[in-house]
């Protein structure tokens, strides 16, 4: 272990020597220094000295940048990002990924830059979804600039899923529509049909039932028959305020087997409350109900008449 550290220190000393200038050496030898820093980083990695490994990779990247070796500089930053993952230094990952992507783009390798952003986003997604979202959006923008529809569609899918995961439904609806547009260019109508289901679910989560119905009318022709039947039942359930019908529609097998974020959304979706018949209001201390003389009131009147006659007769006696 100590021999690896000593070897790394020797490489660093040699790199610093290459960077020095003199009367006869006006410009540092960045190429040789970058190579020595890279060797030192590998030695530190083997010695499990990850912090020192990261520092050497950053110096290697800077030397390559000064030498206008932009691809190799970006590669060193990419490796430093992975070392940060092992160090649990998540705060540095996004910055390193964006710097590497910029260098890749300058070199003319934008796809490598987008791949680096994607790699960093996957690392951050479990614990830092907001940072991951920003990286996926950046990767999407890079792919759109380069007119790479396949990669752009992949990143658009990831952006929409994270937005749903974060309950950012307004932005999620826009992201899904953007994803649908990308699929339209490749005529992937099956994917559009699945996204139509996702868009309806997101609009229902927004409690915008008009927008949900509009999404179905606009893209429902791309859905499979089972998807059409389920969406029709679901929208009818919300229109009729029928929670049981809505629950049956949301329990459809193909919805349960959607991407996990959409399946969770369907599971947690707020069901319609249902319509209940209004109860008659009861007024306290109200007067007794009116009884018509021609019905029950008549018998009571008749029953009192003989008594009055008896009193009259007694009075005559």
Question: Which pLDDT score, from 0 to 100, does residue 140 have?
Answer: 94
Mean pLDDT of 258-275: 86
Handedness of CA 187, 256, 137, 73 (dihedral sign): negative
Considering the chain, what is the average pLDDT of its residues?
86
- Using CA atoms, how far residue 192 sits from 162, 163, 184, 198, 231, in Å, is 19, 18, 8, 10, 14
Q: How confident is the model at residue 281 (pLDDT cuts 50, 70, 90)?
A: very low
Whether 156 contacts 148, CB under 8 Å: no
The pTM of the whole model exceeds 0.75: yes
Instruction: Give, as one character, the DSSP assignment of residue 49.
Output: -
Report phi then psi at 296, rounded to 5.
Answer: -70, -35
* Mean pLDDT, residues 184-200: 89
Show the tokens assigned to 119: 């790699």
pLDDT of 206 above 70: yes
pLDDT computed for residue 129 by the predictor:
94
pLDDT tens digits for range 232-245: 999 999 998 899 99
More confident: 31 or 26: 31
Averaged over 13-41, what is the pLDDT?
A: 91
């Amino acid at each position: 272990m100590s021999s690896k550290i000593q070897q790394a220190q020797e490489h660093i000393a040699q790199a610093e020597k290459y960077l020095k200038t003199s009367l006869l050496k006006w410009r540092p030898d960045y190429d040789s220094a970058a190579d020595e820093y890279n060797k030192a980083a590998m030695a530190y990695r083997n010695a499990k000295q990850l912090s020192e490994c990261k520092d050497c990779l950053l110096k290697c990247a800077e030397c390559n940048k000064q030498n206008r070796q932009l691809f190799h500089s970006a590669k060193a930053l990419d490796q430093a990002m992975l070392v940060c993952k092992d160090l649990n230094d998540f705060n540095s990952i996004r910055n390193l990924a964006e710097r590497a992507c910029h260098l890749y783009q300058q070199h003319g390798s934008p796809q490598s830059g987008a791949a680096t952003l994607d790699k960093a986003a996957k690392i951050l997604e479990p614990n830092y979804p907001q940072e991951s979202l920003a990286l996926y959006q950046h990767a999407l923008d890079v792919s759109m600039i380069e007119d790479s529809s396949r990669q752009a569609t992949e990143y658009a899918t990831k952006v929409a899923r994270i937005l749903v995961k974060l309950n950012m439904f307004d932005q999620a609806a826009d992201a899904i529509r953007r994803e649908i547009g990308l699929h339209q260019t490749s005529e992937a109508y099956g994917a559009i049909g699945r996204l139509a289901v996702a868009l309806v679910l997101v609009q229902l989560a927004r409690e915008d039932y008009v927008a949900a119905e509009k999404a179905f009318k606009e893209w429902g022709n791309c859905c499979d028959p089972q998807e059409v039947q389920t969406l029709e039942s679901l929208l009818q359930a919300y229109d009729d305020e029928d929670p049981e019908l809505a629950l049956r529609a949301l329990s459809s097998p193909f919805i349960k087997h959607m991407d996990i974020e959409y399946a969770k959304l369907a599971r947690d979706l707020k069901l319609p409350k249902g319509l209940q018949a209004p109860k008659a209001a009861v007024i306290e201390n109200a007067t007794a109900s009116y009884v018509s003389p021609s019905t029950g009131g008549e018998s009571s009147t008749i029953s009192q008449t003989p008594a009055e006659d008896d009193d009259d007769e007694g009075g005559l006696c």
